[in-house]
């Protein structure tokens, strides 16, 4: 037998056999798959979450300045800054999503600027307010004539307006019944009105007064620049 014509041992197909069955492909029917990253939520959902977070930030700093919370919403603001930075890196496919992101960022910047301005005013006013109180010791809090409320929403101003509202309601009905809202709810309502008017007009304070129109009691508000 010619050694050059020797055949491979039985059962050994050589390298050609590996090519025929696909080499080292593992178990037939199972293909290796790469790990897939979790899918990112749709842009509309991310924008909805951002809008909700911005409104919650506004509510939190309103509660802080109204005295309902002792901790400023700095952590919430930091999260929104991070979310905005991440959303800027997302490829927004539609011009509507891009416009909405720009609008939300402008709203957040406006709220942040207002928050820092009011915080600065309150910190600077801690030393100035006692001098003003000493200069005007006979300050009257007349709910009918008008009570000036600042961002601090002093307890004496809330008490004067709430007492005036309760008294006028009793006089109108001829009985001293339970007022339509309790003092805590009334304070929250004042805080919302104060914040809304200051945000729209940029005023330093708001004058509230109790008035009667067509037999109905109303809380009148007027922006004041000192």
- β-partners of residue 175 are none
pLDDT of res. 36: 59
Task: Kindly report, residue by residue over 90-138, the tens digit of the pLDDT.
Answer: 878 788 888 888 888 888 998 888 888 888 888 887 544 444 444 443 3
Residue 78 has pLDDT above 60, yes or no: yes
Asked whether the beta carbons of 122 and 65 are under 8 A apart, the reply is yes
**pLDDT, averaged across the chain:** 75
**Is the pTM of the predicted complex or chain greater than 0.75?**
no
pLDDT of res. 14: 47
What CA–CA distance (Å, rounded) separates 123 from 131?
A: 15
Residue 152's CB is within 10 A of a number of other CB atoms, namely 17
Task: Kindly report, residue by residue over 1-33, the tens digit of the pLDDT.
Answer: 444 554 544 544 444 444 445 444 554 555 555
Task: Kindly report, residue by residue over 148-189, the tens digit of the pLDDT.
Answer: 888 777 888 888 888 888 877 666 555 444 456 778 888 888
Residue 217 has pLDDT above 50, yes or no: yes
The least confident of 63-67, 87-91, 108-112 is 87-91
CA angle 121, 68, 203 (to 5 degrees): 35
The DSSP letter of residue 142 is B
Asked whether the beta carbons of 210 and 149 are under 8 A apart, the reply is no
> Positive or negative, the Cα torsion across 29, 31, 36, 41?
negative
Q: Report residue 93 as tokens.
A: 């496919």
Asked whether the beta carbons of 207 and 146 are under 8 A apart, the reply is yes
């Amino acid at each position: 037998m010619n050694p050059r014509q020797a055949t491979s041992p039985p059962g050994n197909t050589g390298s050609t056999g590996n090519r025929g069955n696909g080499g080292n492909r593992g178990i037939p029917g199972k293909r290796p798959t790469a790990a897939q990253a979790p899918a990112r939520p749709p842009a509309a959902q991310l924008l909805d979450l951002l809008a909700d977070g911005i409104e919650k930030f506004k509510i939190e700093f309103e509660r802080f300045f109204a005295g309902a919370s002792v901790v400023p919403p700095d952590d919430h603001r930091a999260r929104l800054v991070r979310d905005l930075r991440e959303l800027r890196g997302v490829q927004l496919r539609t011009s509507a999503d891009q416009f909405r992101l720009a609008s939300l960022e402008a709203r957040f910047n406006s709220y942040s600027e207002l928050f820092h301005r009011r915080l600065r005013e309150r910190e600077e006013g801690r030393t100035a307010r006692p001098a003003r109180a000493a200069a005007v010791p006979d300050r009257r809090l007349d709910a009918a004539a008008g009570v000036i409320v600042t961002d601090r929403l002093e307890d004496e101003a809330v008490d004067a307006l709430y007492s005036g509202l309760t008294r006028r309601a009793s006089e109108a009905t001829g009985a001293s019944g339970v007022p339509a809202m309790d003092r805590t709810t009334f304070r929250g309502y004042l805080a919302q009105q104060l914040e809304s008017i200051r945000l729209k007009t940029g005023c330093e304070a708001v004058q509230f007064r109790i008035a009667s129109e067509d037999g109905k009691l109303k809380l009148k508000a007027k922006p004041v620049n000192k």
